[in-house]
């Protein structure tokens, strides 16, 4: 290879590295981050240097009145007694037939993984000229992330326990760095 050919090859690689920086890097950061934060829902906790599990939820505590709660569900809660009125089993508290709001599957479901998975599925990234922003636009996301005050059915106030699912993570940063190194090696070694 002549010196002129070597210079040309270096210029081509530098142009490809610049394209990589402008076009691929934001997508790598965003994709890796969204995947990492989605793992919080699978792992039931947030991973910075290591996994920090979330506190359990009352719907999985068999001694809680919220055990197995699922609005509109119609299974019999083994911890609540039904009463019989005129030959029809009714919920002891509401005296209404049918709906018990108990679901045996909800008593076992993962934390923050509702039936629709909306909170997890709402994590996305937005590319700007000089940064990538990870977002979750669900209005209740911050209640879970930071442990804010909420209302049960818009009435009784309570403070949710913080269950962070987005944040700075040493593991995520290491994954992104490893991906960058791999991609840059591929460009240079062409």
Region 43-49 average pLDDT? 97
pLDDT at 140 over 70: yes
Q: Tokens in use for 16?
A: 């490809």
pLDDT score for 92 = 53
For 151-186, what is each residue's pLDDT tens digit? 988 899 999 999 999 999 999 999 999 999 999 999
Residues 107, 57 contacting (CB under 8 angstroms): no
Dihedral Cα 140, 146, 148, 151, nearest 10 deg:
30
* Among the listed residues 155, 134, 158, 156, the one whose alpha carbon sits nearest the alpha carbon of residue 147: 158
With residue 123 as reference, give the H or E element that holds it. strand 123-127
Distance, CA of 65 to CA of 101 (rounded, Å): 11
For 80-139, what is each residue's pLDDT tens digit? 655 555 555 555 555 455 557 888 888 889 999 878 899 999 999 999 988 999 999 999
Sign of CA dihedral 153, 163, 58, 111: positive
**10-21 CB burial, b ≥16 within 10 A, e <16:** eeeeeeeeeebe
């Amino acid at each position: 290879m002549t010196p002129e050919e070597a210079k040309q090859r270096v210029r081509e690689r530098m142009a490809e590295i610049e394209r990589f920086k402008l076009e691929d890097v934001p997508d790598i950061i965003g994709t890796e981050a969204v995947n990492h934060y989605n793992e919080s829902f699978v792992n039931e906790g947030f991973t910075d240097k290591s996994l920090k599990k979330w506190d359990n939820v009352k719907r999985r505590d068999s001694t809680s009145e919220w055990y197995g709660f699922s609005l509109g569900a119609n299974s019999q809660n083994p911890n609540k007694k039904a009463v019989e009125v005129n030959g029809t089993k009714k919920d002891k508290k509401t005296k209404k037939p049918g709906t018990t709001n108990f679901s045996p599957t909800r008593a076992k479901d993962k934390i923050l993984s509702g039936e629709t998975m909306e909170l997890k599925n709402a994590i996305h990234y937005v590319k700007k000229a000089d940064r990538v922003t990870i977002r979750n636009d669900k209005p209740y996301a911050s209640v879970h992330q930071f442990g804010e005050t909420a209302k049960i059915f818009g009435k009784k106030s309570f403070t949710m326990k913080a269950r962070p699912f987005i944040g700075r993570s040493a593991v995520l940063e290491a994954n992104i760095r490893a991906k960058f190194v791999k991609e840059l090696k591929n460009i240079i070694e062409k």
